Structure 1
Amino acid sequence: MGLSTAFTELFGLEHPIALAPMGGSAGGALTAAVSRGGGLGLLGSGNGDEAWLARELPVLSGEVAGRPWGIGFQTWAVDDGTIARALEHGPRAVMLSFGDPGPFVERVRGAGTTLIIQVTDLEEARRAVDLGADVIVAQGTEAGGHGARRGRSTLPFVPVVVDLAAPVPVLAAGGIADGRGVAAALALGAAGALLGTRFQATSEALVAPATARAIVEGRAEDTERNRVLDIARGSRWPAEYTARTLGHPFLDRWRGREDDLTAAPHARREYQDALAQGDIPALPRWAGEAVDLIDDLPSAADLVGTLAARAEEALARAGGR
């Protein structure tokens, strides 16, 4: 029967599923695959690095086959020029996460582009509504990668945002990695789900093979939120955002000692030396709490349809009870 929602109708999608615009790993091939599969692919441009975009946008345009797609930014890391350059490529949507989206709203709206704003607490949700977001993503703390240090869990957070934002469609994010999770998002009143970790473990994702294997083999208890790896690698991520990752040697050494690590330049040099020697992964292995549910590396295009079909089955089972 298909799962039609306000989100699918807005973009003309087959399925209420979106790709989280994961910085670096959601490249052109992955974005195009999700869109071809009937969902909304969102390119993970992060800070809008021009060289990265110059490499990935041609891949996307060559494979997306006319389907709708978008591009996501870390709001704290970009400026108006970054947004303007991205809009020249004609995305159907721009997603802004982590920081005040206000300075960029007029630019996005002026291009006739759909504005998606990700929120991690109710203050951000109210701000997104006031700014006129076309779609709001409610991200729970179960999500892999960065999120609010003092965020809320997906299950209680999503329906509150749904009620606050109505009639604006809301996507649920955080701890969703299979069709049952998509079904749960819809049951909470969301118009769809935005998935990250599940799409990292696909054949099109820009991740090292070792990272993909680590996700397939990982367990929820292997993940934790921290700032240690951002500090060690000299990342400019604001302190209010921690990142959920799989285990790492530097986590074991510096867990709970973030201030000490910040004041220890020799430790950050050791991190860079270990990186150069190949002793540690080139990037932290971002992974959410639903990592247990991931046991294969399919094509993302096929995965979208599978997720939607399993969601329909889950909803039918629930309705039959």
Structure 2
Amino acid sequence: MIKYKRIQKLFNIEIPIVQAGMVWCSGWRLASAVSNAGGLGLIGAGSMYPEVLREHISKCKAATDKPFGVNIPLLYPEIDLLMKIILEENVKIVFTSAGNPATWTGFLKDKGVTVVHVVSSVKFARKAEQAGADAIVAEGFEAGGHNGREETTTLVLIPIVRDAISLPLLAAGGIASGRAMVACEALGADGAQVGSRFAASIESSAHENFKNKIANTGEGETALTLKQLTPVRLLKNKFYQQVQEAELRGASKDELENLLGTRRAKRGMFEGNLEEGELEIGQVAAGIKKIQPAEEILNEMWKEYKVVKQSLCI
């Protein structure tokens, strides 16, 4: 028996898999491909100027008649403009992250938008529920990109968040297979948000160098770093080593911010500089061995989920 129902109903999708809104990886091509395949695609606005976001929304609308959404980091400097564009373009699903959910949740819901907030702790899951969010993404520290300071793993985070809230719950962090979906369901999740595997998809807007690097990543080749600023999980490369050396000698916050600069993530993930760029990816990259179409990824995960469920008789 297939249990995942609340998420399908909330987003009007067939498969309870959401493609994460990843900077430099999740433009309109990836979002529309995932939505067309039965999941929920997200445009990642974190790396987009306001008019670039408008363009991606417009192209996504032209490429799919299925539901899709936009992920917006709440600390984005031009967030007022992004929210204005989302309403003007009639986007009906918004995932928010990296900020106080009370700031925008009520505003968006008053406009008829379904709001989902990404958290890494029980504290912020409760805050998101109190703010009126429609669902929660609980992301363990295995995940790529910006991460929680608590370093709570997905295995621990999902059940304690499930016990703390009544909202539909998406599990994230280290999920790239149907087997992982079944495990997260057993822990209390209603669906899954998947990032790293879609970052290595054909439709991902990441540079081919980065995609190939993901497909050749081994165990232990990522690490959580930059904890003095905002913790982020990176592939180990020359830039990562520079960060480590700076932190070990007690570099100040200002020095670390200067080292990070403003274009490191773009240089690595979008432009393909594998040594000088910031390469954000999750631990689960060690299990990703090929670059595939988004539809194939979605179908493989969902098929495996159903096979494993049946084999376990649950």
TM-score if structure 2 supplies the norm length? 0.89
CA 1:102–1:319: 2 relative to 1, 3 Å: same
Q: Distance between the aligned counterparts of 1:169 and 1:141, measured in 2?
A: 20
Matched residues in 1 for 2:101 and 2:30: separation? 25
Q: 1:192 & 1:278 partners in 2: Cα distance? A: 32
Does 2:272 correspond to 1:286? no
Q: Following superposition of structure 1 onto structure 2, how do residues 121-270 of structure 1 map, counting pairs within 5 Å? A: 121-166=121-166, 168-227=167-226, 239=228, 241-255=230-244, 257-258=246-247, 259-260=250-251, 262-263=254-255
> How far off is 1:54 after superposition?
3.6
**Whole-angstrom distance in 2 between the partners of 1:17 and 1:267:** 36
Kept after mapping to 1: 8 A contact 2:243/2:256: no
Kindly indicate whether the alpha-carbon contact (under 8 Å) linking 2:8 and 2:16 is maintained by their aligned counterparts in 1.
yes
Indicate the residue corresponding to 1:40 in structure 2: 40
CA 1:187–1:80 in structure 2 vs 1: closer, same or farther (change >3 Å)? same
- Cα distance, 1:85 vs structure 2: 1.5
1:3 Cα deviation (Å)? 5.5
Q: Percent identity?
A: 28
Q: Partners in 2 of 1:301 and 1:9 — Cα distance?
A: 21
2:299 is the counterpart of 1:308: no
| Structure 1 residue 150: Cα displacement | 2.0
Aligned-partner Cα distance in 1 for 2:125–2:93? 18
One-letter amino acid of the counterpart of residue 260, structure 1 = A
Given the superposition, is the C-alpha separation of residues 265 and 106 from structure 1 closer, same or farther in structure 2, using an over 3 Å criterion? closer
In structure 1, the partner of 2:25 is 25
Residue type at the aligned position of 1:289: Q
Give the match's secondary structure for 1:33.
Answer: helix
Please report how far the alpha carbon of residue 292 of structure 1 lies from its aligned counterpart in structure 2 after TM superposition.
1.8
- Corresponding residue of 2:58: 58
1:91 counterpart residue number = 91
TM-superposed CA distance for 1:282, in Å, is 7.0
SS at match of 2:182: helix
Alignment of 1:72-111 (within 5 A): 72-77=71-76, 78-111=78-111
Query: Structure 1 residues 278 and 25, CA, compared in 2 at 3 Å: closer, same or farther?
Result: closer
Task: Point out where structure 1 has 5 or more consecutive residues left out of the alignment.
Answer: 229-238
Contact 2:96/2:116 (8 A) holds in 1: yes
> Contact conserved, 2:235 with 2:279, CA < 8 A, in 1?
yes
Alignment correspondent of 1:232: none
Query: Once the 2 structures are TM-superposed, how far is the Cα of residue 92 of structure 1 from its aligned partner?
Result: 2.4
Is the contact made by 1:223 and 1:288 (CA closer than 8 Å) also made in structure 2?
yes
- Secondary structure (helix, strand or coil) at the match of 1:42 reads strand
Structure-2 residue corresponding to 1:318: 312
**Change in 2 beyond 3 A, CA 1:104/1:254:** closer
1-side partners of 2:107 and 2:133: how far apart?
Answer: 13
Q: Secondary structure at the match of 2:137?
A: strand
Note the C-alpha offset of 1:79: 3.0
* 1:200-259 Cα deviation digits (max 9, x unpaired): 01000011111000000002300001129xxxxxxxxxx552111111202223305235
CA displacement 1:42-76 (0-9 Å, x = unmatched): 11011652242143223211211x10111011111
One-letter code aligned to 2:216: E
Aligned residues: 305
What displacement does 1:281 show? Answer: 5.3
Query: Closer, same or farther in 2 for the Cα pair 1:158/1:240, shift >3 Å?
Result: farther
Are residues 310 and 107 of structure 1, via their aligned partners in 2, closer, same or farther at CA, if it must alter by over 3 Å? same
CA positional deviation for 1:187: 1.5
What is the TM-score normalised by the length of structure 1?
0.87
Shift in CA distance, 216/159, structure 1 to aligned 2, threshold 3 Å: same
